[in-house]
Amino acid sequence: MKVALVHDYLHTFGGAEQVLLALTEIFPDASIYTFIKHFGHFPKDAKERLENKTIISSNFSKIPFQKLTSKFLVPFTKKWFEELDLSEYDLVISDGTIWSKGVKTNENQKHIYYCHTPARFLYSLPAESTKKKNLFFLKPIIKNIEQDLIKWDLQTAGNPDLIIANSENIKDRIKKFWNKDSVVIYPPVNLLNFDKFAEVDDYYLVVSRLEPYKNVDKVIEVFNLLGLKLKIVGLGSEKVGLKLMASKNIEFLEGINNQALEKLYKHAKGLILSAEEEDFGITTIEASSVGTPVIALRSGGFIETVVEGRNGMFYDENTVESLLEAVKIFNETRFDREIVRNVVKDKYTKQIFKTNILNIVNSLVDIG
C-alpha cells in the first residue's frame, strides 16, 4: 500500500508536527507533502527524522522568512494543495487545520483527515491573527478573503472519506462549523518519566506560545500581585511586552531542551493553563504525567484533560481576579502525585495513537 502524508506547513514544531512524526513511524516509506518546509525552529531529533524523508514542498519554501510570508499566500496555498497529483497513492492521510484537506483524490483512493481544529481565525475563535484583523485599513481586504476562505473550507470538508478529531472538543467544533461527523483519536503525547518521590519546588510554571489568546499577561499580573515564583517557557509576539510587565519573581527561560523541560515540569508546584478555547492542551498531559497538577481556565480542551480534584483545578472566568483566587486556593491544596499521573498514563501514549490510526486504516483500506 502506497501512502502519502499531507501537512499544512512545516515551519514550526508543535503538537501537529508530533502527530506527523508518529504517522511517519506507522508509514515509514510515505512521502510527505507540505506547502512550506523550513526546519530552522525544529528540535534536532525531529529535524533529523524528517530530513531523511521524501518531502515535497512548494517553491515558496525557498523564500526567506517563510513563517511571515505564509500568512499572505492564501490564493497560492489553496491552488497548490488543490493541484497536487496524488493519484499514485492508495491512501492519503492529511492533517492540519484547513489546507491539507483540500487535496483531491479519486474513487480508487481513501483520504483520512486528522483535524487539529477548524481554522480558529475563520470562526471567531481567539487566534494569533487578531491584531492584524483589527487594523482598519486591512479590515475590508481581510473580510473578503475570509468570506471566500470559509466557503472553500466548508466545501473541502467534504473531501476526506473520514475525519478524525484530536479531541471531543474538536469533534464538537467540526460538527458545529462543518456539519460533519468525526471520530476521536487523541494525539500522541510524550509522557514524561514519573518519579513518585520527586521533590516539589516553590515555583509555578507556564509552558505556552506567548500570543494574546494564551492570556499569559493575566498570569503575570496575578504573580506580580502574589509575589510567588513563576517560570515561563515559550516564544511569541508578546514576549518583549510580557518581560517588561513582569516583576523580579518571574523568570523567562530560553533554549530549553526536552530534558530541561521535563525537569521543570517534575519539580513545579503547578502548571498554569490560561489559554482561551484551547484546542486540546498537550502541556496538561505532560505535566500530569510527572504528577504535577494544573490550574486551568474552564474552557476548550482543558475541560477534557483536567479532572477537577484529581490532576488539577479550574478557574471559571478569564480574568485576573478569578485566576488570583484559584492560585490562592491551589497554593494551600495538596495533590497526590500518583493520582495526578493516573489520570493520563493509559490514555494519551504514542502507542495508543498508532494502534487507533492503524485500526481506522484497516477498516477503510484493503491492505491485502
What confidence score (pLDDT) does residue 197 get? 83
* 255 inside domain: yes
* Three-state DSSP state, 40: coil
- What pLDDT shows up at residue 239? 95
One domain for residues 180 and 100: yes
CA 301 to CA 299: how far, in whole Å? 7
Q: What is the pLDDT of residue 44?
A: 86
pLDDT the model gives residue 64: 65
H-helix or E-strand spanning residue 351: helix 350-364
pLDDT in tens, 123-153: 877 765 555 445 444 556 667 778 889 999 9
Residue 128 pLDDT: 55
What is the pLDDT, as a whole number, of residue 45? 86
**Helix ranges restricted to H, 52-116:** 66-69, 74-82
Number of domains in the chain: 2
**According to the model, what pLDDT value does residue 299 have?**
94
Check if the beta carbon of residue 338 is closer than 8 Å to that of residue 344: no
| Residue listed under C-alpha cell 499521573 | 341
Could you give the 3-state DSSP secondary structure of residue 250? strand
Q: What is the pLDDT of residue 75?
A: 83
Domain shared by 247 and 270, yes or no: yes
- Strand 203-207 and strand 270-273: pairing? parallel
Judgement on whether residues 255 and 151 belong to the same structural domain of the protein: no
- For strand 312-315 and strand 294-297, is the pairing parallel, antiparallel, or unpaired? parallel
Could you list the residue range(s) of the whole structural domain that residue 232 is in? 203-342
User: Residue 53: which CATH number?
Assistant: 3.40.50
pTM of the model: 0.88
- My answer on whether 120 and 237 are in the same domain is no
Cell numbers 497536487 correspond to 84
| Low pLDDT (below 50) residues in the chain | 132-133, 135-137, 368
Q: Which helix (H) or strand (E) holds 340?
A: helix 337-342
